[in-house]
Chain A
């Protein structure tokens, strides 16, 4: 006898009856479309910066052309060391995205695992995990990140770890709630009766059913992570010079902002655009995964 009639593999919770890929569904949401385009542009610009496709190297100093306004040679102008700001912004986007992606990946995996286990097994495990989540929530994000960075030392890997610790409880909380409902569902009971190993039930049946809020949370967490990373770099505790970083560039521009607006405008603009892009993408994902929520409402 086959198992499939009893426990069909269901897609992500709330997948609309209509067809179309996830990207296609995001594209139909006006906010999601803008988010998708902006995110793609950022990725391309960042990749160009990281791979050295731009005319200048982000670290090269040209002493003869310090503080140049934007021009044909220096698209975004140059800074006080004669470094090309366009190249630095592109490389900075890459740095920020790298830290954010690593941090959110760790937070999403660890947090979701904690949340799903807590919701599925309940009992004392749930008690301990929930309490732990609550304790981590008691620390304001930037503060916890600062404390962890002060313990681990600066540098991009440690920044990523600090941000991951900050956002782990959010993923745990977001995945625990839906798991509570799914764990009681008939098809999960059927799996257990059939003697399917628990890890398999969790991975193949619980995870796909609670994945929608986790996926939405990932894009939103990426935008917060990016903000936290640039804030830490601004304070001098994130990415270390001379490595280009958007937060550090804003910090460097503090004294030159009124005479050389471009030193501030481009890195700050990149941060704002990145955060908006990821937020809109999150909005689009939310309405793509949840048919009850109409877009633009």
Chain B
């Protein structure tokens, strides 16, 4: 058995407890909002309503219930897939999120793929010659990649594309991948490239330090002593052993990508979850805010669970823990 059921059960249980905690945090944060959903949805000061009207509305929205019963009725609705109704558009929140989520997932997956590939490549390049010129150059580029904010890079990309190539991303309608590959790519490739820069820089730094550390291990010296080709040592011995922390980092980073799309989707006007979240925050559309935050956090917990399972498969030693 590759994975012990006991470990898996404990890990799954932990993830479920975390998810429950996430729902509490989302609930508490959204309850901390001054005023309440009623005044937000009506767009008027509560002072203009009579006491009786407020009471009636409170009763209608269930706000007169104690907080714990509000919490559990919200949780109950969640389990039935009922995420509520958007206050501004009147659409169901689940349909809004259902339309936005694929865009964000595609964006994040593409950025993660590009970022991992570039990051591992550059990290290996730097790590295989510590202290050499290529190491310093790559490290400098990596630091720059971490330090340039996504919104600066995104703004620059949009402006340069427009100025140099007369290229304006068509934002009126989003083209799904299933409809047209080139149409989809013309909308999503550039934002994915921008997102992948920070990702690649992080992966690069981890790859480099892991590579340097692993390359000093005794088994690598043994492999060299056996007269193995340097390339074989690099891939089969050093990189494979360095891959576990890289995998962990990629998992964590992927979760952050899901959140980091807020800014990029805003700049590139992509109708994803980040944009939905941002517009609902500025419109005070709390049912949408609540559910989108919850979805992203849940995705993060699930991705981390998958990463945990993933490196138990990659590294047989981990299975004994």
Contact = CB atoms under 8 A, between A and B. Distances in A.
Partners in one complex: yes
Interface of A: 131-132, 134-136, 138-143, 146-153, 223, 227, 230-231, 234-237, 247, 250-251, 253-254, 257-258, 264, 268, 271-273, 275-276, 279-280, 296-297
A152 to B, nearest CB: 7
A143 B131 contact: no
User: Which of A153, A272, A280 is most buried by chain B, counting CB atoms within 10 A of its CB?
Assistant: A272
B238 to A, nearest CB: 16
A257 B262 contact: no
B37 interface: no
Given A139-B293, A231-B149, A250-B151, A296 B131 contact: yes
Q: Which 10 pairs from chain A and chain B are nearest by CB? A: A140-B259, A135-B21, A143-B259, A275-B147, A150-B281, A258-B163, A257-B159, A268-B152, A234-B151, A138-B297
A134 B18 contact: yes
Nearest to A150: B281
Interface residues of B, number: 53
A140 B258 contact: yes
B29 interface: yes
A223 B260 CA distance: 17
B32 interface: yes
B255 interface: yes
Contacts of A131: 17-18, 21
A237 B281 contact: yes
Nearest to A296: B131
A276 B293 contact: no
Contact of A231 (B32, B147, B150, B293): B150
A214 B150 CA distance: 27
Given A141-B256, A142-B263, A258-B159, A227 B21 contact: no
Contacts of B188: none
A179 B161 CA distance: 51
Nearest to B131: A296
A235 B278 contact: yes
A272 B140 CA distance: 13
Interface in B270-301: 277-278, 281-282, 284, 289, 293, 296-298, 300-301
B130 interface: yes
B148 interface: yes
26 contacts: A131-B17, A135-B21, A138-B18, A138-B297, A138-B301, A139-B25, A139-B300, A141-B256, A146-B262, A150-B281, A151-B33, A227-B149, A231-B149, A231-B150, A234-B151, A234-B263, A237-B281, A250-B151, A257-B155, A258-B163, A268-B149, A271-B152, A275-B147, A279-B143, A279-B147, A297-B212
A153 B30 CA distance: 12
A275 B71 CA distance: 40
A136 B131 contact: no
A250 B256 CA distance: 23
Contacts of A296: 131
B263 A138 contact: no
A135 B300 CA distance: 11
Nearest to A271: B149
Interface of B: 14, 17-19, 21-22, 24-26, 29-30, 32-34, 130-131, 143-144, 146-152, 155-156, 158-160, 162-163, 212, 255-256, 258-260, 262-263, 266, 277-278, 281-282, 284, 289, 293, 296-298, 300-301
A245 to B, nearest CB: 13
Q: Tell me whether chain B's interface is mostly helix, strand or loop, or mixed.
A: helix
Contacts of B156: 257, 264
B18 A275 contact: no
A247 B301 CA distance: 30
A135 B155 contact: no
A20 to B, nearest CB: 24
B29 A140 contact: no
A250 B155 contact: yes
Contacts of A135: 18, 21-22, 24-25
Contacts of A280: 143
Contacts of A140: 255-256, 258-260, 296-297, 300
Contacts of A149: 281
A262 B211 CA distance: 41
B105 to A, nearest CB: 14
Contacts of B14: 134
Contact of B259 (A139, A148, A151, A251): A139
B18 A142 contact: no
A151 B146 CA distance: 29
Contacts of B262: 142-143, 146, 235
A143 B277 contact: yes
Nearest to A254: B155
Contact of B21 (A134, A150, A251): A134
Nearest to A134: B18
A285 to B, nearest CB: 16
Contacts of B18: 131, 134-135, 138
Nearest to A276: B147
Given A140-B258, A142-B263, A146-B262, A272 B297 contact: no
Contacts of A272: 144, 147-149, 152
